[in-house]
Amino acid sequence: MAALVTAVRAQLVESGSAQVAVDDLRVPVDVWRRAARRAGRELNRPVATVAGHGFVHAVLSDWPATDEERRVQAAALRRAVHAAAAVHQADV
């Protein structure tokens, strides 16, 4: 489970969240969720997990907590807006 905790922790640090399709899991959902909560404890950050619609998610519930995390979040939001605008323009 240590490798799973490390992988989930890396995703949490990078983007504030981690997710995987249930069909892609190599462990039961409850084990993945337990690993995500352990990763949060290792980061000393609160983590919420949820499973549904074929996916399991973990989020740092205090994200963004730093200026760097706010920059990462803002950049992700800009990318999402640009992608949505491009799709909308293609539909017009």
pLDDT of residue 88: 72
pLDDT tens digit string along 29-74?
A: 999 999 999 999 999 999 999 999 999 999 999 999 999 999 999 9
Compute the distance between CA of residue 23 and CA of residue 66 in angstroms, rounded to an integer.
Answer: 34
Tell me the one-letter amino acid at 87. Answer: V
How sure is the predictor about 86, in pLDDT bands with cuts at 50, 70 and 90?
Answer: confident
- For the domain with range 1-61, which CATH number is right: 3.30.1370, 3.40.30, 1.20.1300, 3.90.1520? 3.30.1370
Token pair, residue 46, equals 């609160």
Token pair, residue 62, equals 């205090």
SS3 of 69, please?
helix
Q: What's the average model confidence in pLDDT over 16-22? A: 97
* Confidence check: pLDDT of 89 > 80: no
* Confidence check: pLDDT of 6 > 80: yes
pTM: 0.85
Residue 91, judged by CB atoms within 10 A of its CB (0-12, 13-18, 19+), counts as exposed
**Contact partners, residue 12, CB within 8 Å, separation at least 6:** 18, 36, 39, 40, 43, 45, 47, 58, 60
